[in-house]
Structure 1
Amino acid sequence: MFIMLSLPLLLLVLTGHIGIVRSSCTSKLEKSLFDDLIGMMLKLKGTGHGVELRQNEIPAFTAYRNSVQTLSPTTIVKFDKLWMNNLNAYDVTTGVFTAPMPGLYHFAAVVMSESAKILFLNLWHNDTQMAGSYTNGDGHKTGTIDVVLSVKKGDRIYIKCRNNTTQKIYSNSDNYSTFSGYLIAK
């Protein structure tokens, strides 16, 4: 266990040994040393497979809409703009995330209804409906979906219209409707 005596006081568990480190470094150098120490700890801990993924090797995406989308029954929602798309696994033209590697993934969606209209959507894993979001009432309503799934390479994850009627997802330049996913563990 190492204890760094500087502001803030940090307690780090590494190998079971105790040591005290006093620092008179600049904050920029302290951050660099701290980042290096965290990196070494992660390498020592490992991933259980002897493989360390770099940030740009981790499947992750955040897509959004900044305009209304009209959905006929069973239409896939197309979050057609991207903030990030590591490994290009999310396709803005289809609205589908295709897993580039197996693992445990977290997916979340936030969707806004047209004012005073019903919006009924589901998250699908391949051809299986997994979770839903239903909004109804006066004004715009926000529905959410939040799941963790075990995914195989090539599996498809998407949001699809559920109801038997035409519906609309509302969004504008404030980007009210989003869809994200990322690998948690291999």
Structure 2
Amino acid sequence: MFILQHLPIVCLVLSGLICVVSSSCSSKLEHSLFDDLIGMMLKLKGTGNGGQGNISTKKDTPAFTAYRNSVQTLSSNAIVKFDKLWTNNLNAYDLTTGVFTAPMPGLYHFSAVVMSEDGKTLFLHLWHNDIKTAGSYTQGDGYKTGTFDVVLNLKKGDRIYIRCKGGHDSQTIYSNVDNYSTFSGYIIAK
């Protein structure tokens, strides 16, 4: 235990050591301050998880980033299948279906960038279960990128995916080895 003299401040040492301060405060106030500091230190250090508190590890944090490195031609209402992965914690994104299924309830952030073919229209929506949310519409000369950026409150088992607009056959997601089309999601609060 350290004894600091002639310092008018209270010291918090995160290594677990308590600093005793010599000052003109009353004994009752000094004990109250130390109780508060010890409480804060315990909150910072956590109780278990190796001192990590409530910090999640990447093993238990739902997160994915999927991408395409080739074109995908879509029929009306077809789901975009991002068929390659950089990240897929908890295996919540299914490459074969193009659907993310929430492994736990919480607030999630989703974003996507999709590129159209040169001079072609691309009309997509982000779906939450069977409810259409954000849309992306690209049209005009050249390659165009549409984006999605949404935060959704999900229940365990909710599904998130990107689907071609109904009544719009033969739309194409463009991508190549430069991975122009990506889809990501992760939990931001439990």
TM-score (norm 1): 0.74
- Report the equivalent of 2:124: 121
SS where residue 75 of structure 1 aligns? coil
Is the Cα contact below 8 Å between 2:116 and 2:122 reproduced in 1?
yes
- Report the equivalent of 2:33: none
SS where residue 67 of structure 1 aligns? coil
Is the Cα contact below 8 Å between 1:43 and 1:52 reproduced in 2?
no
Q: Which moved more, 1:92-101 or 1:161-170?
A: 161-170
**Deviation sequence 1:54-91 (CA, Å, 0-9, x none):** 12110000000000000000000000000010000000
RMSD: 2.0
Distance 1:94 1:42 in 2: 42
SS where residue 56 of structure 1 aligns? helix
Cα 1:42–1:184 shift into 2, 3 Å: farther
- Report the equivalent of 1:56: 59
Which structure: larger Rg? 2
Question: Structure 1: where are the runs of 5+ without partners?
Answer: 1-16, 21-39, 45-49
1:158 has 2:161 as partner: yes
| Aligned partner letter, 2:162 | I
Distance 2:54 2:102 in 1: 19
Question: Structure 2: where are the runs of 5+ without partners?
Answer: 1-9, 14-42, 48-52
Is the Cα contact below 8 Å between 2:46 and 2:54 reproduced in 1?
no
- Report the equivalent of 2:73: 70
Is the Cα contact below 8 Å between 1:112 and 1:140 reproduced in 2?
yes
Is the Cα contact below 8 Å between 2:109 and 2:187 reproduced in 1?
yes
Q: Give how far 1:19 is off.
A: 6.3
- Aligned pairs (5 A) from 1:95-114: 95-114=98-117
- Report the equivalent of 1:26: none
Distance 1:154 1:83 in 2: 22
Distance 1:108 1:86 in 2: 16
Q: How many residues align?
A: 147
Q: Give how far 1:163 is off.
A: 4.4
SS where residue 149 of structure 1 aligns? strand
